[in-house]
Amino acid sequence: MGALSNLRVLDLTQVLAGPYCTMLLADMGADVVKIERPGGDLIRSNPPFVDDAETEAYGGYFQSVNRGKRSIELDFGDDEDRADFLSLVEEADVVVENYRSGTMAKYDLEYETLREHNPLLIYSSIRGFGDPRTGETHRQGQPSFDLIAQALGGVMEITGPADGPPTKVGPGVGDLFTATLNCIGILAAVNHREQTGEGQYVDTGMYDAMLSLTERAIYQQSYTGEAPTRRGNSHPTLFPYDAFETADGYAVIAAFGTNHWREVCAAMDREDLAEEYPDRASRLEHREYLREQIADWTLERTTDDLVDALEGRVPVAPVQNTEDIFADPHVHARDMLVPVEQPGTDTAVEIAGSPIKMTETPPEPGGRAPLLDEHREEVLGEEAETPADD
């Protein structure tokens, strides 16, 4: 049994942020019922596919963040389907949706309506700009995606080479970090309900989440009055803390502590640098010169040789691609690559495992993502069997 095996979650979300949030809950044992609009989640048909998009039920995008869920297809414009949804709400613990503000109200299924059917309900939304219930702004109702959130929230302005353009972070942090915060909010609301018997509304906005993510830039602006900008892979207040080119790739070195700095200098056979720049202030003041010295040294060595020279003495690591990750025994020992069935093929695919490790109730992906409407009879049949006075 998972830590959240007592929770029933109705998942109305689609694409990435919402599904990732409910995936975290499902990995920890919650019964997540994915309620899909007619035709299903928009992202079902998104590549990549193992072989043939025509025969496979969905691509890797959908598979990765919808594993371990059940699926039913409902049309909220249909009276019977709407009634089925409300019957599910009456027995649910949590509802999660990521529509634009006001969308659920069009069907008279907003929080206030659902709370009448289930006063203990925790209703959670993920939106680009939050919900008016927790703070109204002129942006609410506008569509938003990861790129929009990263741009507005300052992530792009501080990401990329110093002489290059604002750059999007590779993973969809506008979605994924917001989703993670929303999951935390849901669990906090569950705990509050256990203590008080009160349900509530949980609201997490993507723009808000990006401000939380870029916390360093926020306090830098406040303390210095200057807007931080791009610095490549370096750090504004720590050195050396950067990526360095090697003879066959790149590695990162984080040796800003004096003990680690001395170890780097010893490995370089440059004790003179340790003596001349003994403290953090002097290293920061002369960071350009010192970076050149380190870069000349790393360029003469392969990545493996560099890591071997410093590992165990200095925080150092190779810059890996996914082939390296798949070959890393650490990743397999930590169960971070999980095989699941890919419907429409005879092939198993691997998706990222759960990074949350627990000794008594270890989270784990509960199998492949569902087919569209795969569990209609199972889910709605359960409601029909629930006694009216239960």
Domain locations in the chain as residue ranges: 8-214+333-380, 241-321
Note if 79 is an active site residue.
no
- pLDDT at position 384: 53
Angle of helix 258-267 relative to helix 303-310, nearest 10 degrees, comes to: 130
- pLDDT at position 387: 46
Q: What pLDDT digit, counting tens, does each position of 247-263 carry?
A: 999 999 999 999 999 99
Average of per-residue pLDDT across 276-292: 95
- pLDDT at position 1: 83
Secondary structure percentages of the chain, helix, strand, coil, to 5: 40, 15, 45
Which of 165, 146, 149 has the alpha carbon at shortest distance from 157? 165
Average of per-residue pLDDT across 55-79: 96
Q: Which of 146, 175, 208, 242 is catalytic?
A: 175
Q: Give backbone dihedrals phi and psi of 113, rounded to 5 degrees, phi first.
A: -70, -45
Residue type, 173: V
Residue with tokens 């925790």: 122
Cα→Cα distances 246→67, 96, 185, 212, 296, Å: 39, 47, 43, 34, 9
Q: What pLDDT digit, counting tens, does each position of 95-135 carry?
A: 999 998 889 999 999 999 999 999 999 999 999 999 999 99
Contact 21, 11 (CB under 8 A): no
- pLDDT at position 388: 44
Check pLDDT > 70 for residue 11.
yes
Question: Helix H segments across 197-269?
Answer: 206-213, 215-224, 258-267
Average of per-residue pLDDT across 28-37: 97
Task: State pTM to two decimals.
Answer: 0.93
Burial class, 362, CB count within 10 angstroms (exposed 0-12 / middle 13-18 / buried 19+): middle
DSSP state of 369: P
Average of per-residue pLDDT across 17-21: 98
- pLDDT at position 385: 56
